[in-house]
Amino acid sequence: MPQRSFGVARLAAALLAATACGGGAPAGPVSPNTSGWWRGQVVYQVFVRSFADSDGDGVGDLAGLTARLDALNDGDPATTTDLGVDAVWLMPIFDSPSYHGYDVRDYRAVNAPYGSLAALDAFVAAAHARGIKVILDMVLNHSSSQHPWFVNSQSGADAARRGWYVWSATDPGWPSPLAGAPPWRPAATGWYYAVFSGTMPDLNLAEPAVEAELVDVMNGWLARGVDGFRLDAVRYLFASGPQPAQQRDQPEAHAFLRRVRAALHRDHPQALLVAEAWASTETVATYYGAGDEVQLAFSFDQADAIRSSLAAGASGDLQNVLLRTEAALQGKDRGFEAPFLSNHDQERVARTLAGDLPSLRLAAATLLALPGTPFVYYGEELGMQGGAAADDRNKRTPYRWDATGPGYGFTTGTPWFTAPEAAGVDLASARADPGSLWHLYRDLIALRHARPALATGEAARPAVAGGGAGAFALLRTAGGARVLFVANFAAAPAGAFTVAVAGTPTVLAAEGLAGAPAAAAGQVSIPGLAARGFAFLALE
Ligand code: CA
């Protein structure tokens, strides 16, 4: 049997931890999800290393990001030179030996190439001055193998931090739940569990001292002014046995998240937790708990379905996922969803869609029509494609601020990494072209903010008759306000179709409408849509 790991001893430790969170203080009730600041907002995901370099060393940093905040949101709703996003998620900014930072060496220190604690404070202050909230990436599942905790833990069976990781005297021989290398890794003093990589040993979250330390870390960042956390890899927080299904989505993970939420909300009731549970919509929905686990979770199936519906020229995949999502969140809350198109672990959506602008425009419109809190991956609004997905760095290339290489406004030096982009895929060019993808994102973010039905409303899929396989309709409703989104996912024009909802339509935004939509016999008639066309219609 593994030492201190997945048997009765670990379960007992988990039960103990249930009463020991936050260093022993009792956890109070959590704030309702529905009162959260993120409701109705749009979040922008930033890889600090690739966003803006302030000092010419080719590596993006917090000072560079701070200096460029006006491009994201200048804090003045009257101006139209900014994208208009409401919050930023910073991928890991803590001390780490890797370029990506998902193996943390010190949870309380800013990664030196990104700047100092003072630089982070200045960034948070500058963001808040513009009304931008700040979400930090928090990796609770594992640390770096270079973390002093693990260095101590692996030094021997009697080490002070031995129990902070998961050790076995012999190889338990489990297969990976990720179709990767087996998770038990050899060290001089035993075998340790590390589901992602040997350099990323899993923390023993059943150890109350580990939970208390991580809660203290998170409370420290909240006290410093950040507004929430994106929680990495929540599916893998606990494992209970050799089968892949025993190495993910364990009940202990849900209990852990409930305790963490309560422990953070005691002093910071507005702290947001958004989960990366890379799984089916049904599994993702389990992290809602009773409204007491995470407040948001990324909608991976929707991201896949938007891309595959565009690739197929038919709306069926998206319809099916939305049907499943409605069922999975029945009696819960569609505001739990965090729709997105692609993220740092995936080929960029513009590459998947081969840079086809009408497809990218419909992808953006669909993202910003869906319920929940949409996330935009930096550069998506420019149509950045990055490079071939076999190398993760190709998914995380430097932002293109202008058309002048080799730094493209990202750096005055040599970029830490780069991949080619098509001409015009840069912010300066996009701002100068009223027909650019960036302008569409900006306009639709503004529309979403202006229309409560889009920002926070309920979602339903009224029946569509005609229009072919690409036709799609989504109705958003808040109080008496209604916005109908219609689209044609096909690569060919859609003929006239009707949507089974009553009301007189007014066009708010549209591309490729064949004529004026109208009320007809208790339905809305759409006279036709161009290939990848769409329309947002207010219904009176
Ligand atoms: Ca730099």
Ramachandran angles phi, psi of 13, nearest 5°? -65, -40
- Ligand 1 centre distance from Cα of residue 53 (Å): 4
Rg (CA), the chain: 24
Tell me the residue ranges of DSSP E strands in 420-470: 458-460, 464-466
Residue 35 has pLDDT above 60, yes or no: yes
Contact 265/172 with Cβ under 8 angstroms? no
Integer CA distances (angstroms), 416 to 20, 346, 383, 406, in order: 44, 20, 21, 11
Of the candidates 226, 245, 225, 223, the residue with the CA atom closest to the CA atom of residue 236: 245
Comparing CA positions, the residue from 237, 232, 231, 273 lying closest to residue 252 is: 237
ω into residue 415 within 30 of 0, thus cis? Answer: no
Q: Give distance in angstroms: CA of 52 to centre of ligand 1.
A: 8
pLDDT surpassing 50 at residue 352: yes
Dihedral class, residue 439 (left if φ above 0, else alpha if ψ from -120 to 50, else beta): alpha
- Centre of ligand 1 to C-alpha 62, Å, is 8
262 pLDDT above the threshold of 60: yes
Instruction: Please state which of the ranges 18-32, 170-184, 455-469 shows the lowest mean pLDDT.
Output: 18-32
What are the counts of helices (DSSP H) followed by strands (DSSP E) for the chain? 15, 22
% of the chain at pLDDT higher than 90: 94
Instruction: State pLDDT tens for residues 368-394.
Output: 999 999 999 999 999 999 999 889 999
pLDDT in tens, 271-320: 999 999 999 999 999 999 999 999 999 999 999 999 999 999 999 999 99
pLDDT surpasses 90 at 104: yes
Cα(350) to ligand 1 centroid in Å equals 27
Of 287, 226, 241, which is closest to residue 2 (Cα–Cα)?
A: 241
Residue 114 tokens, joined: 């990104």
CA of 307 to the centre of ligand 1 (A): 34
Reported pTM: 0.95
* Distance (Å, whole) CA 368 – CA 37: 18
d(Cα 509, Cα 497) in Å, to the nearest integer? 18
pLDDT at 6 over 80: no
Predicted confidence at residue 25, as pLDDT, reads 47
Looking from the CA of 379 toward its CB, the CA atoms found within 13 Å total 33
User: What's the DSSP call for residue 176?
Assistant: P
Cα of 19 to ligand 1 centre, how many Å? 44
Percentage of the residues of the chain whose pLDDT score is greater than 70: 95
Give the pLDDT score at 179: 86
d(CA 45, CA 350): 16
Mean pLDDT of 318-327: 98
For residue range 482-510, what is the model confidence (pLDDT) as tens digits? 999 999 999 999 999 999 999 999 999 99
- Which band of pLDDT confidence, cut at 50, 70 and 90, is reported for residue 1? very low
What is the pLDDT of the chain when averaged over all its residues? Answer: 95
CA gap 141, 238 in Å, rounded: 8
pLDDT at 26: 52
Please write the tens of the pLDDT for every residue from 438-463: 999 999 999 999 999 999 999 999 99
pLDDT in tens, 214-232: 999 999 999 999 999 999 9
Residue 12 binned pLDDT confidence (cut-offs 50, 70, 90): very low
Task: Over range 460-479, report the average pLDDT.
Answer: 98
* 288 alpha carbon – ligand 1 mean position (Å): 38
Q: Which residues are marked as active site?
A: 232, 276
pLDDT score for 29: 84
